[in-house]
Chains A and B, each alone.
Chain A
Amino acid sequence: MTTGGAIDRTSRADAVAALAGHLVGALGEGVPTRLADFLDSCADGVAGLWAVRLVGADAFAPHLLAGRPLEGRDAAVVSDAFEAFPPVQQPVTHQQCVLAHRDQATAELLVRLTDGRCAPPGTVEVWENREASAHLGTSPVDALLGPAEQWARWSVAVAQLSPLALPGLDGPVFEAVAGAPLALARGTTRAVLRRDYATAARLVRWVALLADRVPLDAALLVEHLRLHAGADARLLLDLAIAERVLAAEPVSSRPALPAPTPPVPSAPTAVVHDVASRAMAWLHAHHELGAFTDTATADLDDPNSVYKPLCEVALASAFVLREGVAGAAQLRHARELLDFSWEQMRRGDLLYERQLRHALLTDPVETYASFARSGYRHAALERVAAHSSAADAVNEVVPNRRLAVANAHRVVGIPRDDDWDALTAATWLGREPEPWVIDWYTGYCATHTVFHLTDWGARPEGLPAGTARYLDAWLPVWIDVWTEARQWDLVGELLLVGACLPEPRIEAAEWAPFAAAQHEDGLVPRDGEPVSDDPRTRFLDHQHTAVVATAAGTLALSRLLAG
């Protein structure tokens, strides 16, 4: 109830929920829209008017989308709401500007639906009023939304203007959103991945309205949100409107991605070099912690405990030597780490014995590729590997790992008749799914698909054009989402993917948080959890991320220097 002049918070929430439910019913079940009846049903009439003001133009969604007539009493309710809660006459703040744009949309529809007989009092013509933000030197809409290139911030503002995502509400807001379909798609994908379903539902209304040009499957997206929406009435109203919009103008297939427009690499060379050299120095300083504690044989109890980290250190070191852009200290570290790892592998004998004993295992050749690339060869291992390959002795692995096997053989020089196109098509990335269906684990699958197709960035042309275009569109979203979640290991891999692209993506804004996460001693934490003080635990927990940081920084530096 309204007490002492102010509306009780519960009354407001109840009224908004009731109104949203009323409108959903009118959209979906043919229930007549009666704003006046809704207001009469409110225990607190002022709260009811407040709710009408809040939903704004959405109050007319049943009239626009379901053909319901707007009766005079209902039009009067909207006018009353504007009288009770007057429009801002000189919008300055962001909130005031959002309200002013929403008010103008409401006013336009009220005039249109009543054939000019009714107009809310006091609305400001923000769409035409250039003085509203003349001090900013830009149009009111541009000032409100900001540049579409900053799609994360831009899309939040677009979500706040979701009541304008109704058919026929043309104007500068519609034009601005319609002119940036990729920014809208990225912002929507980001909201879904953040599981911010309220924002996602607001954005999906724009996606539905622009379904012929936004490179997302709008119907799938709406259904996804409905499955996760819960019972929030306003969210359900957004989805009901989106469904009605889609039903009115169905789109048969997902629009194509726009032509790639990757930004000019902007990360300073000093930043990426610093990340890589300090990560490698940290690996070098602690590498003895990654040694076998006993005599390893071909039959490893736990390949992940020592063997895998040694392989990864070799990979990072081979990266540094291959690219040849590191300073003298980093080159020395790389060579010494390769020597160390090679000795741990008993100068290749361990790999040879493992391949000989377990012909179908793929890790010996995959590991050996890093050494072979750097000049560490083992003739007997190559003979066994060639024999295994000729017999097609490869165990069943997930599709992106099958690419790893193909690339390792390519690097070592062992012939295979791999169908790269077919192998790529079988991967998650190769299928180019909706970008919001990715999860943490699949993120790694996607990064590795790129690594193997491009031979860890040495052959950017190995990435199919469609895959490159797909990554150009969605990589920024995934980096943003997992940066916010401080998943530095995955972020590092995604940054490495950016450096592997034919048109490399090496953005200063994306590298800065990753570089900032690096500790003074060069450790790069795998995530935002506390880092142990125990030296061995520190090394084992974060060794992989140091490898990723070394590789990503090295390749990024190489691509930056290559221009």
Chain B
Amino acid sequence: MRATVAALIRKDLQLERRSFESVPAMLMFSVTAFVLFHFGLDRGALAGDLASGVLWVTLLLAAVLGMNRLFVAEREQGGFDGFLMAPVDRTALFVAKAVVLFAFLCAVELVAVPAFVVLLLEPGIGQALPELLAVLVLANLGIAIVGTLIGALGVQTRARDLIIPLMALPLLVPVVIAAAEATAPLLESGGADPFPVRWLGVLALYDAVFGLLAYAVFDFLLEE
């Protein structure tokens, strides 16, 4: 299982490096969205829950771009068939794709969050960095799990670019709620407020529930 997952991840990272389809698009989208928010809100500097909301909505919408692309190569170039005929555990595909989406999200955030700080954030985030990282990691995990499941669900349909966001975004509302609520105190202008740890609990619960659920049902999406 581990070897299969490793082989799949390696293949996807090779493909991304060769074609640059996902990460640059997600990144460009994020920065563009920040610019749009600046003009839309007519504010040069955000703090607190407004900043938190702008950041998380942008990251979520950027994630949708990644979800749309996640299984396209498999679908269009026969990757599903090749995988289905191999003597491997089929859930490895779910694990590998979720890891890849998680990695893409982390890569995007590595640039997008500093961009956010520079473009839109009024206070600094130096003092709250560890907490912010914890929120990012847990939220990315939830987005990766749900995104992989919905990506697989949607890739076989005709209007996949529309139906994947329509399904994934409501499912990810709890992630937005928890992540935004957790991040808001970190971005307050007067210095970071105490960190509401219970929201990390909500994220962890969400990740656990959907992780187990996705693991259980994913196989059914691959049969024919």
Tell me whether A and B are bound partners: no
Q: Footprint of A on B, CB under 8 Å? A: none
Q: Footprint of B on A, CB under 8 Å? A: none
